[in-house]
Amino acid sequence: MIWNFVQDQVLGMKWLNALIGRLLESVGIDITGRMGGSFQFFLYDVLKISVLLCCLIFLISYIQSYFPPERSKKIMGRFHGIWANCIAALLGTVTPFCSCSSIPLFIGFTSAGLPLGVTFSFLISSPMVDLGSLVLLMSIFCTKVAIVYVLVGLVIAVIGGTMIEKLHLEDQVEAFIRNASAVELDAPTLTKKDRLIYAKDQVTSTFKKVFPYILVGVGIGAIIHNWIPETWIEAVLGSNNPFGVVLATLIGVPMYADIFGTIPVAEALLFKGAQLGTILAFMMGVTTLSLPSMIMLRKAIKPKLLAVFVGICTVGIIILGYLFNAFSFLLI
């Protein structure tokens, strides 16, 4: 009962939804209608995600202050084989929130001489899985779904990085990265006050970058939630369409958002009857394979390696989407 209260009222903020509904009704807005319902959905999700986002960025940034690039490189350098991929994937959970922010770190790690597969494990996990995704998914789905999503994301990162390592594609990294000289820098010693200031600054800068995507994501979610018939969603992304997972993954590729922008869309799709695995495949496709991040990554690696990376991630996401659909009855 205590955990249900935390999930519903603290993380899910259902009290906020009820409060917004009462306020809208008090000014004569019918929240049972399409316009009123869309307005309530938009206000509730924007406020809820913004509050959770700021709290999470502060917490994650404080933790991240203990893992600057130099220290992360040294940590990953101590491990070998699949353990190195596991550590890289785990370190990806305390790094920036979108793939475009992760690529410069990937380039730095690769230039420093870390194994290619290890750096790709980091690159995959960083945008797909983080502490923020765990908490936000718990606020909308349930604890089991959130935990399994994070574990699955880590598995994709470890397997993807390991496969790339076995293919020996180091020559597919652009020469300016392979020939870069690594600079050994000691991680600066920060006081607790410095870390708090750093976390506060990260809240401000990250929120400014992410907030427009939250507005777009919530706007799309409000339209899906109140204007698109359930029969349409079920026909395209429901159990009757065997290609729903593939379609959702491909739809996500040209989009650019992070986990915070995809959450309201996922919430609306679930409400309308889309399958769990299909929704999660869409989220993974958006956060991991967005077109802008692929364009940026192309500057660092050659087309063959880029195609291998996209192929491994796409196949992994699709397979896991179908697995989630098949076993969703165990999670929901």
Give burial (CB, 10 Å; 0-12/13-18/19+) of 70: middle
- What's the pLDDT score for residue 111? 76
Bridge partners of 16, per DSSP, are none
Axis-axis angle for helices 82-91, 69-77 (nearest 10): 160
- Is it the case that residue 26 has pLDDT exceeding 90? yes
Contacts for 328 with CB less than 8 Å, ≥ 6 apart: 275, 276, 277
Angle in degrees, CA 251, 254, 258, rounded to 5: 95
In this predicted model, what pLDDT tens digit does every residue of 192-208 receive, in sequence order? 889 899 889 988 887 88
- Is it the case that residue 187 has pLDDT exceeding 60? no
- Nearest CA-CA partner of 157 in 95, 244, 214: 95
Lowest model confidence (mean pLDDT) among 3-7, 85-89, 298-302: 3-7
The helix or strand, by DSSP H or E, that contains position 223, with its residue range, turns out to be helix 192-227
b/e burial code for range 78-102 (CB count within 10 A of at least 16 → b): eeeebebbbbbbbbbbbbbbbbbbb
Domain boundaries defined on the chain? 2-330
Lowest model confidence (mean pLDDT) among 40-54, 126-140, 298-312: 126-140
* Structure-model confidence comparison of residues 246 and 240, the more confident one: 246
- Is it the case that residue 142 has pLDDT exceeding 70? yes
- What's the pLDDT score for residue 62? 85
The mean predicted confidence, pLDDT, of the chain is 82
Lowest model confidence (mean pLDDT) among 66-75, 153-162, 225-234, 245-254: 66-75
Give burial (CB, 10 Å; 0-12/13-18/19+) of 54: middle
- Is it the case that residue 293 has pLDDT exceeding 50? yes
Lowest model confidence (mean pLDDT) among 19-23, 52-56, 94-98, 288-292: 94-98
Lowest model confidence (mean pLDDT) among 35-39, 90-94, 192-196: 90-94
Q: State pTM to two decimals.
A: 0.75
- Nearest CA-CA partner of 107 in 276, 331, 297, 291: 297
Measure the CA–CA gap between 37 and 173, rounded to whole angstroms: 50
Measure the CA–CA gap between 10 and 219, rounded to whole angstroms: 23
